[in-house]
A = this chain, B = another copy of it.
Amino acid sequence: MSDEREKLELEEEALLSALSSHSVDEFRKIYLELHPYDQAKFFVKLDEHDRSTLYTYLSPEEMAAVFENIKDEDDQYETYLSEMDPTFAANMLGQMYADDAVDVLNELNKDQVASYLTIMDDEAAEEIRELLHYEEYTAGSIMTTEYISIHANQTVHSAMQILKNEAPNAETIYYIYVIDKDKKLVGVISLRDLIINEPDEMISEVMNERVYSVSVAEDQEEVARKMKDYNFLAVPVIDFQGHLLGIITVDDIVDVIDEEASDDYSKLAAISDVDSNDRGPLTAAKKRLPWLIILLFLGMFTASLIGRFEETLDKVAILAVFIPLIAGMAGNTGTQALAVAVRRIAVGDLEDQSTIKMIVREAGTGLITGTICGVVVTLIVFIWQEDIFLGLLVGISILATLTVATIAGAFIPLIMHRLKVDPAVASGPFITTINDIISILIYFGMATLFMQYLI
């Protein structure tokens, strides 16, 4: 693969020099040989001047393939389009797979969308208009309408003919969907099955009537899970009456799985989204500051809580030594429980009985880890400070804190899930802060209560 990388670098240099010397033919020869993903990677690295030249070297159809493969640069779509001649831009959008074109148009304002759709070829504009209706993160928003459908009373041979004609435009040709006269989905046949069966067999004889489909309003994460579990390369999307509306292909699902996982990860780390792009520190700071400021105020609240125990602290200064330990352990165990709960919700492993079972399980887990950690802490503090009461105070605080913090870590995302809030928002830092507060109340509460043994 390093050979390939070297080759690619050489080609990129050749492309750049072809651009600057205005050698159209040379440029096209090399560029169109590249995989569209590499074409897109080259394109996004260019400056405005070179991009303007490039637009004049490619047809709208060729440019469409480039645009379909631009990843992680959604915020640049508008810039790119504004650099193009509007008719060229509209033609290019019309040539893209409808689902990809919709992704681009979703980054523009309504007036811009309307004007591109007006210039565009009617059929393409109609397809795109339909897809634009669907809400983000639903099956409808990631489906495409470029699928192949046939009727049950056709033969395998005629199905193959349809397939040959539509293959250049369809997003996948590996599943062919069978519909009735009302466009209702009644079956599916894979290209594998078409090839294996005799040409004169009827589709109704060889098709699979048990079609797995998803509803157009279904959450994209749900769709991704199904496709992953069932190893589908594509899945049909239907409305509530069973009409076939479109299909979702596995390449879009791979992106969804990646995005959703990255999203959960970011939230656990309290960043709105991981900026893998090379932006300046000001942009990065702007993204992280909202979270930090919220956490700062929550931290201030914790501080004011400790402030109420200033008298206790004044008498027994050693108490302060264990604050980070206890608060830290509460945070750690809470984050563990949270992560398990968030992932379980994400994989959909959550029916009514199992919610209660999960809380009970987490309580048990917290009790076990709390007891073990509590005993260890009591012993260490006793040996270190030669004070069994202090040891017991810290140990019992750890036991109580770990139990409560574990339950809180599991309970809070479950509640949020019930309230239809994305449980991943309840991220690490929030759980940690809530558990800070719980742990400090337990620790200082007990210390104040048993003050006489500590002085």
Q: Given the complex, which residues of B lie within 8 Å of A266, measured CB to CB? A: 339
Query: Can you list, as one digit per residue, whether each of A322-347 has a CB less than 8 Å from chain B (1) or not (0)?
Result: 11110111011101101110011001
- The minimal Cβ–Cβ distance linking A404 to chain B, given in whole angstroms, is 15
Query: Which residue of B270, B335, B373 contacts A336 across the interface (Cβ within 8 Å)?
Result: B270
CA distance A357 to B278 in the complex (A): 9
Query: Is A142 among interface residues, defined by CB-CB distance under 8 A?
Result: no
Query: Is A293 among interface residues, defined by CB-CB distance under 8 A?
Result: yes
Query: Is A446 among interface residues, defined by CB-CB distance under 8 A?
Result: no
Query: Which residue of B300, B319, B333 contacts A288 across the interface (Cβ within 8 Å)?
Result: B333
List A238-283 residues whose CB lies under 8 Å from chain B: 250-251, 253-255, 257-258, 261-262, 264-266, 268-271, 274-276, 278, 280-282
Query: Which residue of B265, B380, B440 contacts A265 across the interface (Cβ within 8 Å)?
Result: B265
Whether the pair B257, A254 counts as a contact (CB closer than 8 A) is yes
Whether the pair B321, A365 counts as a contact (CB closer than 8 A) is no
Copies in the complex: 2
- The minimal Cβ–Cβ distance linking A344 to chain B, given in whole angstroms, is 5
Whether the pair B261, A258 counts as a contact (CB closer than 8 A) is yes
Whether the pair B428, A284 counts as a contact (CB closer than 8 A) is no
Whether the pair B321, A1 counts as a contact (CB closer than 8 A) is no
Whether the pair A300, B380 counts as a contact (CB closer than 8 A) is yes
Query: Can you list, as one digit per residue, whether each of A210-224 has a CB less than 8 Å from chain B (1) or not (0)?
Result: 101111001000000
Whether the pair A333, B292 counts as a contact (CB closer than 8 A) is yes
- The minimal Cβ–Cβ distance linking A166 to chain B, given in whole angstroms, is 10
Whether the pair B233, A250 counts as a contact (CB closer than 8 A) is yes
Closest to A274 in B: B343
CA distance A168 to B195 in the complex (A): 10
Whether the pair A262, B262 counts as a contact (CB closer than 8 A) is no
Query: Is A191 among interface residues, defined by CB-CB distance under 8 A?
Result: yes
Query: Which residue of B195, B329, B369, B373 contacts A164 across the interface (Cβ within 8 Å)?
Result: B195
Known A-B contacts A261-B257, A269-B268; the reply to A323 vs B325 at CB < 8 A is no
- The minimal Cβ–Cβ distance linking A21 to chain B, given in whole angstroms, is 25
Known A-B contacts A213-B1, A276-B347; the reply to A324 vs B303 at CB < 8 A is yes
CA distance A279 to B105 in the complex (A): 46
Q: Given the complex, which residues of B lie within 8 Å of A331, measured CB to CB? A: 331, 432
Query: Is A73 among interface residues, defined by CB-CB distance under 8 A?
Result: no
Q: How large is the interface on A (under 10, 10 to 19, 20 to 34, 35 or more residues)?
A: 35 or more
Whether the pair A321, B295 counts as a contact (CB closer than 8 A) is no
Query: Is A415 among interface residues, defined by CB-CB distance under 8 A?
Result: no
Query: Is A91 among interface residues, defined by CB-CB distance under 8 A?
Result: no
Query: Is A86 among interface residues, defined by CB-CB distance under 8 A?
Result: no
Query: Is A421 among interface residues, defined by CB-CB distance under 8 A?
Result: no
Whether the pair B275, A340 counts as a contact (CB closer than 8 A) is yes
Query: Can you list, as one digit per residue, whether each of A272-316 has a CB less than 8 Å from chain B (1) or not (0)?
Result: 001110101110110011011101100110111011001001100
- The minimal Cβ–Cβ distance linking A240 to chain B, given in whole angstroms, is 10
Query: Is A22 among interface residues, defined by CB-CB distance under 8 A?
Result: no
Known A-B contacts A33-B210, A173-B192, A347-B276; the reply to A325 vs B303 at CB < 8 A is yes
Query: Is A183 among interface residues, defined by CB-CB distance under 8 A?
Result: no
Of the A-B pairs whose beta carbons lie under 8 Å apart in the complex, a sample of 27, sorted by A's number, is: A35-B230, A174-B233, A228-B258, A233-B233, A250-B254, A264-B265, A265-B339, A268-B339, A271-B336, A271-B340, A274-B340, A275-B340, A276-B344, A280-B361, A281-B361, A284-B361, A284-B362, A288-B333, A289-B369, A289-B372, A293-B372, A310-B318, A317-B317, A317-B320, A323-B324, A324-B324, A328-B433
Q: Write the residues of chain A forming the contact surface with B, with a CB cutoff of 8 angstroms.
A: 1, 4, 33, 35, 37, 69, 71, 160, 163-164, 167-168, 173-174, 191-192, 195-196, 210, 212-215, 218, 227-231, 233, 250-251, 253-255, 257-258, 261-262, 264-266, 268-271, 274-276, 278, 280-282, 284-285, 288-289, 291-293, 295-296, 299-300, 302-304, 306-307, 310, 313-314, 317-325, 327-329, 331-333, 335-336, 338-340, 343-344, 347, 349, 354, 357, 361-365, 367-369, 372-373, 376-377, 380, 384, 402, 428-429, 432-433, 436, 440
